[in-house]
Amino acid sequence: MKRLALLTLSVALATACSRAPETPPAAEPAATPAAATPATTTVDAAMLSAYHWKLDQAVDAKGQRIESLFARADKPVQLDFRDNRIGVANTCNRMGGGYTLEGERLTVADLASTLMACADPKLMALDQEVGKRLQGPQTAALAGGESPTLTLTGAGGDVLTFRGEATAETRYGGAGETAFYEVAPETKPCSHPLIPDKQCLQVREVHYDAQGLKTGTPGEWQPLYQDIEGFEHVAGTRNVVRVKRYAIKNPPADAPSTAYVLDMVVESELVKDAPRK
């Protein structure tokens, strides 16, 4: 009986030793999320005019970066489309001309420009570099999203990619009201509940007729408790600016209900007797 028990135990041990250890199933590799590809959208005049288009990338037919188009690292070349015209900013001179859009074919007519000279040779050459790449027919492609892109491909293979920034009209939902303000050469302290030692621009409204001549009497000087978007005040310099005023819908408490956006500087004068800080 003991021999039978020992034999049974030996067989059991042999079976246990020959059984391969269980291996846990290998974990399946985590799926790599696909990169989100901005959705392409139809190129139309309304979409083009809703944004300022700032140059983000530029490569030639060989894929080499076109360095000559980035003469101003802090202010990339900017395109603005409106009323079948294209405007080019942040070059040496302001440039502009007509354009047509047929499907994906964008054709820019000869560009006219102001005749200002720039001290920096690279900046001076930027006008020509931009002009020869924009003028003529090219293929346009738009990719939508929070930060849309406009890609222009020229006949020679140059590819310029612009990133869109919503215009004031797009951000505030309207055309805005045009107004002219004289900005005093010095700021003054003004009371602000959230900003200690606040300095405010001193402004007064002025008026021009259809011929561009000043009319009437300027308004009273008053502090402007907010900035004029796009305007940089320099102490000691008096300016007259044309701005667009936009109503801000549902502004937060203690926030302004009107936005002021610079349209152009009409006059600029260094006032020698103005006190400097």
Render pLDDT for 4-22 as a digit per residue (tens, 0 to 9).
333 333 434 334 333 433 4
Would you say residue 94 has pLDDT above 80? yes
Query: For 76, how many CA atoms within 13 A lie in the half-sphere containing its CB?
Result: 16
Examine residue 34 and state whether it is found in any structural domain, yes or no. no
Query: What pLDDT does 8 receive?
Result: 39
Predicted confidence (pLDDT) per residue in 102-119, tens digit: 999 999 999 999 988 899
DSSP letter at 77?
-
Query: Based on the domain organization, do 156 and 210 belong to the same domain?
Result: no
Residue 187 amino acid letter: T
Give dist(CA 273, CA 275) in Å, integer: 6
Query: What pLDDT does 38 receive?
Result: 55
Question: 100 forms bridges with which residues in the sheet?
Answer: 107
CA distances to 89, 106, 180, 191, 234 from 113, rounded to whole Å, are 10, 20, 25, 44, 27
Domain finish residue from 139, 166, 193: 166
Domain finish residue from 134, 150, 166: 166
What's the number of domains the chain is made of? 2
Query: Based on the domain organization, do 248 and 155 belong to the same domain?
Result: no
Query: Based on the domain organization, do 114 and 197 belong to the same domain?
Result: no
Query: Based on the domain organization, do 113 and 78 belong to the same domain?
Result: yes
Examine residue 219 and state whether it is found in any structural domain, yes or no. yes
Give dist(CA 93, CA 1) in Å, integer: 111
> 196 pLDDT band (50/70/90 cuts)?
confident
Give dist(CA 224, CA 245) in Å, integer: 13
Would you say residue 73 has pLDDT above 90? no
Q: What is the CATH number of the domain that holds 85?
A: 2.40.128.270
Query: What mean pLDDT is predicted for residues 57-61?
Result: 96
Would you say residue 27 has pLDDT above 90? no
Query: Based on the domain organization, do 177 and 237 belong to the same domain?
Result: yes
Report the candidate in 69, 85, 70, 87 with the shortest Cα–Cα distance to residue 130.
Answer: 69
Query: Based on the domain organization, do 199 and 160 belong to the same domain?
Result: no
Residue 55: burial class (beta carbons within 10 Å; 0-12, 13-18, 19+): buried
CA distances to 14, 150, 241 from 246, rounded to whole Å, are 89, 27, 16
The b/e string for 61-91 (b: 16+ C-beta within 10 A; e otherwise) is eeeeebeebbbbeeebbbbbbeeeebebbbb
Read off the tokens for 178. 């045009």
Query: Based on the domain organization, do 195 and 135 belong to the same domain?
Result: no
Query: Based on the domain organization, do 111 and 67 belong to the same domain?
Result: yes
Query: What pLDDT does 103 receive?
Result: 92
Read off the tokens for 104. 């994906």
Examine residue 275 and state whether it is found in any structural domain, yes or no. no
Would you say residue 166 has pLDDT above 60? yes
Range of the domain at 217: 171-270
Would you say residue 35 has pLDDT above 70? no
Query: Based on the domain organization, do 50 and 157 belong to the same domain?
Result: yes
Examine residue 140 and state whether it is found in any structural domain, yes or no. yes
Query: Based on the domain organization, do 54 and 149 belong to the same domain?
Result: yes
Examine residue 231 and state whether it is found in any structural domain, yes or no. yes
Q: Which range has the worst mean pLDDT, 68-77, 130-139, 145-154, 245-254?
A: 245-254
Would you say residue 200 has pLDDT above 70? yes
Query: Based on the domain organization, do 125 and 87 belong to the same domain?
Result: yes
Give dist(CA 56, CA 155) in Å, integer: 20
**Mean pLDDT score of the chain:** 85
pLDDT cut 70: percent of the chain above it: 84
Query: Based on the domain organization, do 197 and 264 belong to the same domain?
Result: yes
Query: What pLDDT does 32 receive?
Result: 46
Examine residue 17 and state whether it is found in any structural domain, yes or no. no
pLDDT cut 90: percent of the chain above it: 67
Examine residue 90 and state whether it is found in any structural domain, yes or no. yes
Examine residue 135 and state whether it is found in any structural domain, yes or no. yes
> 57 pLDDT band (50/70/90 cuts)?
very high
